[in-house]
Structure 1
Amino acid sequence: MISEFNAYLHSVWLVAASLIAGVMNAMAGGGSFISFPAMLAVGVLPIQANATNTVALWPGQLTSVAALRDDLRRDLLPVVCGASVLGGVSGAVVLLNTRQLTFLHMVPWLLLVASLLFGLSGPVSRWLRQRSATPHEAHTPALVPLFLVLLPVCFYIGYFGAGAGFLIMTALALFGVEEMHALNSLKVLAACLSNLCAVLTFIVSGAVVWRYCVISMVFAGVGGYVGAQYARRMNANVLRAIVVVTGCAVAGYFFWRYR
């Protein structure tokens, strides 16, 4: 009886966490800070929890790519797609070959790094907007060096992923991509494609716990729809601060729990 009640509480928490994660992703990002620990709380092993969480949250990224497809720079698609595929697959394969206990001890560090990346995304985004406001002549950057810079970022996305989006935008900007809409669309494409490759790798390897994945996917989608209705009304700096504080708090809990 007690075990059934605990299972019920865990299911309720997964539903609530998925809703919150969907809202966060639609408004600012960082939903994995909530949904990934929820997967662990219902008893999913750490690597399977990360894989299941990635699969559950991926469909929301696909809709973003569809919405931004007209802003993509066609001359950069081969290098961005190549780095995304290779990085996403290799990151997922390395994750699946990591020991459960090793990954569990890495989790607080990964969450902390992701939180700091979200915190840095504010000033970097302002710098990118200022940069894009100044007229520049569009040119194609050196593709091989750009590929080599994007590859480890996409590897990180395939392995864990939270907070990596602005790293893609920064890399592209440093290589001469100036227009903000192009930066954002290429960022979304790289994240979506890297995660797609990771998702397919996780599915083929049998690392996805589907009963929890479907629950999280459905309610994250509902949360994403709700969050999208309010995203433009909220102050971006406040949203970012909420994400950073949430991520640091969850990282702190994991540091304490698995010290």
Structure 2
Amino acid sequence: MFFDHIPHLNYIWLVVASTIAGVMNAMAGGGSFLSFPAMLGMGVLPVQANATNTVALWPGQVTSVATLRGDVRRDLLPTVAITSVLGGVCGAEVLLHTAQRTFLHLIPWLILVGTMIFGISGPISKWLRRRATREDVEPYIPRIPLACALFPVCFYIGYFGAGAGFLVMTILALFGMEEMHSLNALKVVAAMLSNLCAIITFIFQGAIVWHYCLVSMVFAAFGGWVGARFARRVNGDVLRAFVVVTGVAIAGYFFWKQAQG
């Protein structure tokens, strides 16, 4: 993106952006705001760049699910899983049937919306923690209304996904779920399954640029390892502010580029 006429620098930027994205995802989230534009900078078409970036960052979600599996609320797991699968597949199918030019025009808006969602996730997290004070049994949550509320979010995850995790947590909280660890675990499950179904769809449709995907995956994993080691040493509000500023800057760049073209 930033070094369109210097291929070697594009490769360097992909490696650096993927590493930083892994660090960001391990510490606060929002890594796609860097790794996705870097994939575009390699000359990958917008739809394929989004699909490839989804695959590259997905292994980190698997490790998170493995870590949090003990906190998953079992009675809600089937509803969340089925909704995630349906939403992820539908979102991926719509993405693959979106014209490249149309998706290119959507990119700055999607990044900006994702940044806004991420920006308000701090206050949302504090609100959820204030609610998570009861130790008694969680209230019954009606399955069909929950599925209807979660489906648009899972669709968005399959289509683009930035910032959607906190929407999952907010919906679950609005339905009466109060235990913070369970909220976070189901959020990760929903994101992982939605993206997995999207990835399978992308693979069958031949939408993955594998040589760039593998490079990004390796360095994102390395960045995730680094980020996990230092996550507790960095102020969370500073990290969140950095992600928001990065997202706004990237969205602004794409708005400017469209105005020029």
CA distance, structure 1, for counterparts of residue 185 and residue 227 of structure 2 = 20
Contact 2:134 2:179 in 1 (8 A): no
Most deviating of 103-112 and 234-243: 234-243
- CA drift of 1:213 comes to 0.2
Q: Secondary structure of 1:255's match?
A: helix
Q: CA deviation at 1:224?
A: 0.5
- Trace 1:136-147 onto structure 2 (pairs within 5 A): 136-147=136-147
What TM-score, normalized by structure 1, do the two folds share?
0.97
Q: What's 2:210 paired with?
A: 210
**Identity within the alignment, %:** 67
Pairwise mapping of residues 88-99 of structure 1 onto structure 2 (< 5 A)?
88-99=88-99
What CA distance in whole angstroms lies between the structure 2 residues aligned with 1:117 and 1:123? 11
Secondary structure (helix, strand or coil) at the match of 1:69 reads helix
Q: How far apart are the structure 1 equivalents of 2:141 and 2:109?
A: 33
Residues 136, 178 of structure 1: 8 Å contact kept:
no
Question: Could you tell me how far 1:6 is from its partner in structure 2?
Answer: 2.2
Structure 1 counterpart of 2:79: 79
1:119 counterpart residue number:
119
Which amino acid in structure 2 is aligned with residue 127 of structure 1?
Answer: W
* Aligned partner letter, 2:258: Y
* Cα distance in structure 2, aligned partners of 1:127 and 1:33: 25
| 2:54 matches 1:54 | yes
Q: CA–CA distance in 1 between the matches of 2:106 and 2:37?
A: 13
Letter in 2 for 1:169: M
Q: Deviations over 1:17-38 (max 9, x none)?
A: 1101111111100000000000
Post-superposition CA distance 1:226-246 (Å, at most 9, x none): 011111111111111111111
Preserved contact between residue 53 and residue 213 of structure 1 (Cα < 8 Å): yes
- CA displacement 1:98-117 (0-9 Å, x = unmatched): 00000000000000000000
Runs of 4+ in 1 over 3 A off after TM superposition: 134-137
Structure 1 portions without partners, runs of 5+: none
Q: Give the match for residue 67 of structure 1.
A: 67
Instruction: Give the distance between the partners of 1:85 and 1:252, measured in 2 at CA.
Output: 33
Q: Structure 2 regions of 5+ residues with no counterpart?
A: none
CA RMSD of aligned residues (A): 1.2
